[in-house]
Structure 1
Amino acid sequence: MATTNPLQFAQQVRAEIAKVVWPTRREVVLTTVMVLIMATLTAIFFFLVDFLIRNGLVALLGFVGS
């Protein structure tokens, strides 16, 4: 593995950082809103699945227990 001195390392780091393309404010807001919407939809989906399973089990146990 090649070794570099601290000055070369700092220059290489600056060169790599210059290549980074930062997202615009609009992109950040848009992706944040999309994540919040997807998280909300996922929460609603799992709530409904849990609700259906719970009611199904209550109905089944009520039917068997009677």
Structure 2
Amino acid sequence: MAKANPLQFVQQVRSEVGKVTWPTRREVLLTTAMVLVLATLTAIFFFIVDFIIRQGLQALLTYFG
């Protein structure tokens, strides 16, 4: 495989970066907010599930212990 000239490489990289579609500020803020909301909802869900399981196990251990 032939090695590319460093200058050629930089030109190719700049050409490829020019093809990238960058998100707008609004898109970045919207997706960031969505990630934060969904992460919070997931944390709340697992907190509730953990609480229910803990209460159930404590009830079982109290009943049989």
What are the Cα deviations for residues 22-59 of structure 1, in whole angstroms up to 9, with x where unaligned? 10000000000000000000000100010001000000
**Using the alignment, how far apart are the partners of 1:19 and 1:2 within structure 2?**
25
Q: How far off its partner does 1:20 sit?
A: 0.8
**Using the alignment, how far apart are the partners of 1:11 and 1:61 within structure 2?**
69
Q: Does 1:13 align with 2:5?
A: no
Q: Which aligned segments of 4 or more residues in structure 1 are displaced greater than 4 angstroms?
A: none
Q: What runs of 5+ residues in structure 1 fail to find an aligned partner?
A: none
- What does residue range 1-66 of structure 1 map to in structure 2 within 5 Å? 1-65=1-65
RMSD of aligned C-alpha atoms?
0.7
| TM-score, L = length of structure 2 | 0.95
Q: What runs of 5+ residues in structure 2 fail to find an aligned partner?
A: none
